[in-house]
């Protein structure tokens, strides 16, 4: 099978990964059909051999000197190291031996896994060294000068999120509290990384594993050598095994399949199948329609589209939409409480150190594992659902770019224990990764923009907003509803609805400043330019004129049939009590009439939050006939001045 992917103009190659499952296999030497348990056992033996060699390599080279040598990219003779990790380790002479008999490709997999782990530790080592070099007097409260010093000591620390520096400082503080001194470097601060049981077949060639796609395009045949015993002593203890794999429907028919990675999860062999397929190219600049996405808590995502016109004005396309996940977040909160209770139990069992409590401790540990899996699955489903929703919004609006608020520096603090916990459990990173994955298939770019003042300033005039609790409480401080104090502007709306307008406008105005990060390969706008920010305002769309009211067709006929809500026969007189014969019209008989006017400052968007515990507001009392707890589009007019006669008179 050819590994070259033909590309047309305007396309680029994209490598993605799909998950599959190996259910059976055939031993080609004996013709024996291997069941799932037998195949899992043989794959586990091979994974154990690779894990043992990887652990030895990491333990031997987990130090500053070897990490710097590998990261320098040159060997002792000054030659450039290969990009493949296993080739770089062999050039440096870092090898490993094992008592069992394994071929050279098994050693390659161990060297590749160890080399990737050692290369990834270089960034963490530089970060820890920079934080230790500029260690402040009070790590919890750095001064502006100390922040400048620590950023200067870290390579690339100018644009590094402050939350990363704070988290590393807390780790160092914990080490100092436990050991009585500061760590020398990362390798004293962190132990040797643990090794997963997996087979990285991408580091092998045809002498260890091959993969071919079937003619129907729905299956592939994976052939690999596996041991017949846990400690093979000769090459006769290795045989070829054929494993058919059914491809997921997400893999295109024209994709090129690569050698996968095998993992053992839950007694089954899981396959991480890599494939390459053509997708449309994404552009950093030249966008006219963009989708702005703002993060929230109860409203997880708020998004809307904006258009950049030829005269450099920006207008909003519609009122936007929201992705609410209150039910999922509530379930996550319940699972978190259960997990905390179980952890408290296991800690108590450990303190008691009673042999009779071992069974209870094992049961609690198993329950913790199951709850952790449920939480992981729930987070994964939430991330995919939110990402798919955002990409669908971009497709519906015809947007070529999604501008996403960059909240890597955001930390949960100062908002109360419950709010901080819920905020820290959001899966913003997973949603952003899934969003980039789905958007790349459609040629839509995903760019992160700085979050500064996106919810603080008005999207139409950049005036600092006044935040209130609700639209019917214009004098109660809060964070949900935003009102522009500028009399000439007068914009008001939901805080998140204003934020996505600011994000989309900022992205369109700063799109020439979009860069590609060298480490992660993601697109981002690093800083805000004042001259460009002044143009990042949403201009009100011109209203269509309807002065011409001439007829263009026949008048629609009207029926003489009575409306369904009107009784066709005279109704009896209304009784004096709440019960008895049905009164005239559709008034209910089980309760008294609702008041015609209530004490309220009601708008068309929502009702205020009930202040009493068992208060259940009725629509006619608080909404003047408006549906109970209804949510409509934000108003497009300025908030009226309070009138002293608001509580007087009839609603008609």
Structural contact between residues 513 and 298, judged by C-beta atoms closer than 8 angstroms: no
Structural contact between residues 52 and 44, judged by C-beta atoms closer than 8 angstroms: no
Nearest alpha-carbon partner for 297 in 319, 325, 327: 325
Q: Which residue has the tokens 């409590």?
A: 357
Examine the pLDDT at 370 and tell me if it is beyond 90.
yes
Does the CA dihedral 646-648-650-652 come out positive or negative? negative
600 and 522, same domain (yes or no): no
What the block records as the tokens of 178 is 């436990």
pLDDT of residue 577: 58
Structural contact between residues 463 and 457, judged by C-beta atoms closer than 8 angstroms: yes
pLDDT per position as a tens digit, 534-585: 999 999 876 655 566 666 778 777 766 555 555 455 555 555 655 555 544 5
Backbone angles phi, psi at 488, to 5 degrees: -75, -25
pLDDT of residue 561: 59
Give the mean pLDDT of 125-129.
Answer: 94
Q: What's the gap between Cα 463 and its chain centre?
A: 31
pLDDT of residue 611: 56
Spatial neighbors of 92 by CB under 8 A, at least 6 apart, are 69, 70, 75, 76, 81
In a domain, 176, yes or no: no
pLDDT per position as a tens digit, 197-232: 999 999 999 999 999 998 888 899 999 999 999 999
Question: What is the DSSP code (8-state) at residue 244?
Answer: E
How many domains, in total, are found in the chain? 2
In a domain, 438, yes or no: yes
pLDDT of residue 330: 85
Q: Of the candidates 533, 550, 582, which is a domain's last residue?
A: 533
417 and 298, same domain (yes or no): yes
Spatial neighbors of 215 by CB under 8 A, at least 6 apart, are none
In a domain, 347, yes or no: no
One DSSP character per residue, 118-176 reads HHHHHHHHHHHHHHHHT--S-TTS--HHHHHHHHHHSTTGGG--HHHHHHHHHHHHHHH
Give the mean pLDDT of 134-153.
Answer: 91
pLDDT per position as a tens digit, 13-22: 999 999 999 9
Structural contact between residues 296 and 496, judged by C-beta atoms closer than 8 angstroms: yes
In a domain, 271, yes or no: no
Q: Where are the beta strands (DSSP E) in 37-180?
A: none
Examine the pLDDT at 150 and tell me if it is beyond 50.
yes
What the block records as the tokens of 380 is 């994964």
521 and 395, same domain (yes or no): yes
Nearest alpha-carbon partner for 637 in 543, 520, 517: 543
In this prediction, residue 419 has a pLDDT band, given cuts at 50, 70 and 90, of low
421 and 513, same domain (yes or no): yes
Burial grade of 273 (CB within 10 A; 0-12, 13-18, 19 or more):
buried
387 and 471, same domain (yes or no): yes
Spatial neighbors of 523 by CB under 8 A, at least 6 apart, are 282, 284, 445, 446, 447, 448, 514, 515, 516, 517
pLDDT of residue 648: 40
CA dist 224 and 242 (Å) reads: 7
Q: Of the candidates 533, 568, 587, which is a domain's last residue?
A: 533
CA dist 512 and 237 (Å) reads: 60
What the block records as the tokens of 179 is 């050991």
In a domain, 459, yes or no: yes
In a domain, 553, yes or no: no
In this prediction, residue 420 has a pLDDT band, given cuts at 50, 70 and 90, of low
Structural contact between residues 163 and 171, judged by C-beta atoms closer than 8 angstroms: no
pLDDT per position as a tens digit, 586-643: 545 555 554 444 444 444 444 455 555 555 555 444 444 444 444 444 444 445 455 4
In a domain, 479, yes or no: yes
The CATH number for 324's domain is: 3.30.420.10
Residue that wins the pLDDT comparison between 609 and 294: 294
Radius of gyration of the chain (CA): 32
What range defines the domain where residue 604 resides? 596-642
Give the mean pLDDT of 358-379.
Answer: 91
pLDDT per position as a tens digit, 321-366: 999 888 888 898 899 899 999 999 998 888 887 777 888 888 999 9
CA dist 188 and 207 (Å) reads: 40
Nearest alpha-carbon partner for 317 in 397, 404, 390, 392: 397
CA dist 357 and 366 (Å) reads: 14
What the block records as the tokens of 479 is 């964070």
pLDDT of residue 520: 82
519 and 608, same domain (yes or no): no
603 and 488, same domain (yes or no): no
444 and 522, same domain (yes or no): yes
493 and 635, same domain (yes or no): no
307 and 453, same domain (yes or no): yes
608 and 463, same domain (yes or no): no
459 and 601, same domain (yes or no): no
Q: Of the candidates 533, 553, 583, which is a domain's last residue?
A: 533
In a domain, 587, yes or no: no
């Amino acid at each position: 099978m050819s590994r070259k992917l033909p590309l047309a103009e305007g396309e680029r190659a994209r490598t993605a990964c799909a998950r599959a499952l190996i259910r059976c296999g055939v031993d080609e030497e004996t013709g024996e059909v291997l069941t799932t348990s037998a195949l899992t056992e043989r794959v586990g033996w091979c994974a154990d051999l690779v894990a043992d060699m990887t652990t030895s390599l990491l333990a031997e080279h987990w130090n500053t000197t070897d990490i710097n040598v590998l990261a320098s990219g040159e060997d002792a003779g000054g030659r450039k190291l290969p990009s493949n990790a296993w080739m770089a380790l062999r050039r440096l002479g870092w090898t490993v031996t094992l008592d069992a008999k394994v071929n050279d490709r098994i050693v390659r997999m161990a060297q590749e896994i160890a080399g990737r782990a050692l290369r990834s530790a270089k960034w963490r080592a530089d970060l820890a060294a920079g934080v230790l070099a500029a260690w402040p007097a009070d790590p919890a409260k750095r001064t502006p000068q100390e922040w400048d010093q620590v950023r200067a000591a870290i390579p690339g620390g100018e644009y590094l999120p402050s939350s990363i520096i704070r988290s590393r400082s807390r780790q160092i503080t914990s080490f100092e509290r436990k050991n009585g001194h500061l760590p020398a470097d990362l390798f004293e601060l962190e132990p040797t990384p643990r090794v997963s049981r997996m087979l990285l077949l991408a580091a092998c060639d045809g002498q260890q594993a091959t993969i071919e796609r079937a003619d129907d395009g729905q299956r592939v045949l994976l052939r690999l050598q596996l041991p017949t015993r846990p400690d093979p002593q000769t090459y006769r203890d290795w045989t070829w095994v054929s494993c058919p794999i059914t491809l997921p429907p997400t893999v295109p028919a024209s994709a090129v399949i690569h050698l996968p990675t095998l993992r053992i999860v839950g007694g089954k062999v899981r396959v991480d199948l890599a494939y390459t397929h053509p997708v449309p190219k994404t552009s950093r600049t030249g966008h006219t329609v963009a989708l702005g996405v703002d993060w929230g808590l109860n409203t997880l995502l708020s998004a809307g589209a904006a258009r950049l016109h030829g005269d450099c004005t920006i207008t909003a396309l519609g009122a936007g939409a929201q992705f609410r996940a209150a039910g999922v977040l509530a379930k996550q909160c319940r699972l978190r409480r259960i997990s905390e209770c179980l952890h408290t139990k296991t800690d108590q069992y450990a303190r008691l150190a009673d042999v009779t409590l071992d069974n209870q401790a094992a049961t609690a540990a198993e329950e913790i594992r199951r709850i952790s899996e449920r939480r992981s699955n729930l987070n994964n489903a939430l991330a995919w659902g939110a990402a798919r929703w955002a990409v669908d919004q971009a497709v519906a609006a015809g947007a070529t770019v999604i501008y996403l608020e960059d909240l890597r520096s955001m930390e949960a603090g100062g908002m109360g224990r419950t709010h901080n916990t819920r905020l820290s459990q959001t899966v913003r990173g997973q949603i952003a990764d899934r969003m980039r994955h789905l958007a790349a298939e459609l040629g839509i770019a995903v760019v992160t923009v700085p979050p500064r003042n996106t919810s603080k300033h008005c999207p139409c005039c950049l005036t600092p907003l006044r935040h209130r609790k609700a639209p019917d409480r214009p004098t109660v401080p809060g964070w949900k509803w935003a009102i522009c104090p500028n009399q000439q502007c007068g914009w008001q709306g939901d805080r998140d609805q204003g934020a996505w307008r600011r994000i989309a406008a900022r992205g369109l105005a700063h799109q020439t400043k979009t860069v590609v990060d060298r480490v992660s390969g993601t697109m981002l706008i690093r800083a805000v330019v004042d001259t460009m920010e002044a143009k990042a305002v949403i201009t009100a769309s011109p209203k269509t004129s309807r002065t011409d009211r001439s007829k263009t067709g026949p008048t629609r006929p009207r029926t003489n049939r009575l409306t369904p809500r009107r009784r066709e026969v005279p109704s009896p007189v209304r009784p004096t009590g709440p019960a008895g014969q049905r009164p005239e019209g559709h008034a209910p008989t089980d309760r008294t009439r609702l008041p015609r006017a209530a004490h309220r400052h009601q708008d068309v968007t929502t009702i205020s939050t009930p202040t009493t515990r068992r208060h259940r507001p009725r629509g006619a009392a608080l909404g003047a006939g408006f549906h109970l707890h209804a949510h409509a589009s934000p108003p497009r007019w300025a908030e009226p001045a309070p009138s002293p006669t608001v509580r007087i008179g009839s609603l008609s």
